[in-house]
Structure 1
Amino acid sequence: MPHHLMNLRHVPDDEADEIRALFEEHEVNYYETPPSFWGISMGGFWVHDDDEAERARQLLDEYQRQRLQRQRQAYERGLATGEVGGVWNLFRRHPVRALAAILAIAVIAGISLLPFIRIG
């Protein structure tokens, strides 16, 4: 019976490539189904054997722990250098783009709510 190891929906290409390389390196007999364009099927990495599934899950768990640490360190470096931040950082770095986005949101919200405002 097939064992679903990991959902590939919303997985970045670099992460999927690293997992493929990990499975190839450790000679895991896996197969892959791509996620559908419309979001109907989830896609993912699969194996047939129970023992192979357990070994692959252990490899995935260790890989995901390491990836979490790498991504967290990259995020903290970005915060320290000012490259990553919230809305205020966006305003400081790109004020015209931020104001244009706010204006576009206000116009779209106004057009969307106009029929309801006229009813009242």
Structure 2
Amino acid sequence: MAKLLLNLRNVLEDEAADVRAFLEENAIAFYETRPSRWGISHGGIWVENDADIAEAKRLMAGYQKQRQARVRAEHEQAVRDGTAETFADVVREQPLRVALTLLAIVFLLGLVALPVWLLHH
């Protein structure tokens, strides 16, 4: 019976391509499900054979450790170089999104505080 190896929710395309590549290199049979039309399922990469599941998980663990180390090193280098994205960069690039997010936060805080305010007045 097939087992899910990687849920594709919030997975970057290069990461999914790397997973496909190491499964193919190691001759592990897999198939991929695509995201559903309504966003209920985000798709996944499935290992077909039960006998390959342990090896696929071992390879996946090694890949994730390697990727984590590489991405952290890239981020640390970007911070040292001053090229890492900051909040100010996000505000400059997407001011409407930031403003709407802040308004939503204020609105939700108001909803949380409303019962307390009503009970005291």
How far off its partner does 1:18 sit? 0.9
Other-structure match for 2:65: 65
Q: 1:58 aligns to what SS in structure 2?
A: helix
How far off its partner does 1:101 sit? 4.4
Give the TM-score of the pair, scaled to structure 1: 0.73
Change in CA separation of 1:82 and 1:21 when aligned onto 2, cut-off 3 Å = same
What amino acid maps onto 1:25 in structure 2? E
Change in CA separation of 1:37 and 1:71 when aligned onto 2, cut-off 3 Å = farther
How far off its partner does 1:2 sit? 1.5
Structure 1 position 82 matched with structure 2 position 88: no
Q: 2:77 aligns to what SS in structure 1?
A: helix
Give the TM-score of the pair, scaled to structure 2: 0.72
How far off its partner does 1:85 sit? 4.5
Structure 1 position 55 matched with structure 2 position 58: no
What amino acid maps onto 2:58 in structure 1? Q
Change in CA separation of 1:13 and 1:104 when aligned onto 2, cut-off 3 Å = same
Other-structure match for 1:36: 36
Other-structure match for 1:115: none
Inter-partner Cα distance in structure 2 for 1:71 and 1:15: 11
Other-structure match for 2:15: 15
How far off its partner does 1:50 sit? 1.7
Identity %: 38
String of CA shifts for 1:29-79, please: whole Å, max 9, x gaps: 111112224321131111232221111111111001100000000000010
Structure 1 position 24 matched with structure 2 position 24: yes
Runs of 4+ more than 3 Å apart: 98-106
Q: 2:18 aligns to what SS in structure 1?
A: helix
* RMSD value, Cα: 3.1
How far off its partner does 1:100 sit? 4.6
Inter-partner Cα distance in structure 1 for 2:51 and 2:25: 17
Question: Which structure 1 residue ranges, 5 or more long, are not aligned?
Answer: 113-120
Change in CA separation of 1:80 and 1:30 when aligned onto 2, cut-off 3 Å = same
